[in-house]
A and B are shown apart, each in its own frame.
Chain A
């Protein structure tokens, strides 16, 4: 069952590519109005999942619904609601940006994009083949935003863009979300996901290994603790369940601690501490946690 508050719903989606692994039993939900970050290294299955959502490829098993409609049998109605940005620009090299917009206008109806064009600083009169990688990405993003769709499916939207433009895109996505839009984005850029996403899904070797809200990730009791002592540290003192040694040298140790810190503090107390630094784990630390082994 899919409630009205669910924008994308994948249930047991598997895609086999013969001997090659695709995605296996992927289930996840994206709520309406949220920015969902889809994480995983190269080859984990992010793009395969996006292709299935977009009905470019068909799952071997499982169902995908977008706003309650089947992504395959009701693909036309669904695509009218989706703005899509591929990981690599799929643009006509001899066309200008204006010609691309004209095609979209004919296929999706008129929409005034002049404000977005100005914000992205895009010259629509130049043929795509003469555009830089960043400008091609900007044009692709402009086309994804065309007609203010209900849902944006973005495959690595800030790839190849400079930090200023990345920030502009975060602003655009934030405003889009405020207008009630939903975003499903895949990314390698963990600080970016941490900054803009409300929820994340982590895919590893074709399988979903985590699907959490950013709030629950922030609430995960994981700390990174760096200890500098005046005397030599005995590494075995920190062989406690829930503690992982990230770095060790004679007088310096960095630990990742899951859960309660009391037991660790008792062990630290027997050393003369020169410096102690305690940080909450960021998304990258948590992501690496899923990707261990």
Chain B
């Protein structure tokens, strides 16, 4: 199994490095800008206060978003930009991992080897989770030493809490995308279906924040369960949100495994 995990990581290392370096660069920029932005916090807060409350909640913006680095990053980075980048990373990996190999027929090389489809799926799935973990380590945990460089006080445990939440969030989307990848024959279908569903979920989360009578809609959105400010500012993980994310991971990874074992691969 390890040779397949290593092959997957090696084959897609450039995208992982590019995503990690780009995100780290963004975070570095925000960390570097934070001291000067914090000096003008009052002006920014006035603008924030003039916005509709539900709208700002939907984007994870609170009134005291400049209070510390955690508040600032949770608003600027982890409410929208980080999830978006993580989605691109995991969906592209899932798409290329199985549907992409079927499309290019290279999966035939692996299927002809003395390795079961279960092990093959687990190896490909594990390599995606490893890539996500590396991305989280580079883009979240490295914030702690970066903040030290600029002598900014941080709450280190909160970054680990956020990392766990991000792993569950990214893992749930990756599991779903892997399931779509297993039942597809080309990666564009994986991008289209997963992307389309995530856009619908994101829209329903925004709408549920703006319309009180549609508040129930947020239950169907994965973004509702990704409370980055709660994890990063308050070091809090909602147990129900964790349950939903873990359940999604288990269900979609098992469905992916079952379908991969059962499906015909006519390459």
Contacts and interface: CB of A to CB of B under 8 A. Distances in A.
A107 B108 contact: no
Interface stretch (A3-11, A28-36, A87-95, A176-184): A87-95
Given A56-B264, A90-B107, A106 B112 contact: no
Nearest to A83: B112
A58 interface: yes
Interface string B1-13: 0111001000100
A82 interface: yes
B105 interface: yes
B111 interface: yes
Contacts of B52: none
Given A90-B107, A106-B3, A77 B264 contact: no
B265 A79 contact: no
Contacts of B113: 79, 104, 107-108
Report which residue of B11, B112, B114 has the largest number of chain A beta carbons within 10 angstroms of its beta carbon.
B112
Contact of B264 (A57, A79, A84): A57
Contact of B267 (A58, A76, A80, A90): A90
A88 B4 CA distance: 22
Interface in B79-113: 104-109, 111-113
Contacts of B111: 54-56
Interface in B53-75: none
Nearest to A59: B264
B45 interface: no
B109 A92 contact: yes
Contacts of B112: 54, 79, 82, 84
Contact of A108 (B2, B7, B114): B114
Interface in B233-267: 264-267
A188 interface: no
A236 B234 CA distance: 101
A91 B109 contact: yes
Nearest to B112: A84
Contacts of A56: 108, 111, 264-267
Interface of B: 2-4, 7, 11, 104-109, 111-116, 264-267
Q: Which 8 A-B pairs have the closest CB atoms?
A: A90-B108, A106-B3, A80-B114, A57-B264, A84-B112, A79-B114, A90-B105, A107-B113
7 contacts: A48-B266, A75-B116, A77-B114, A86-B267, A90-B106, A103-B3, A108-B114
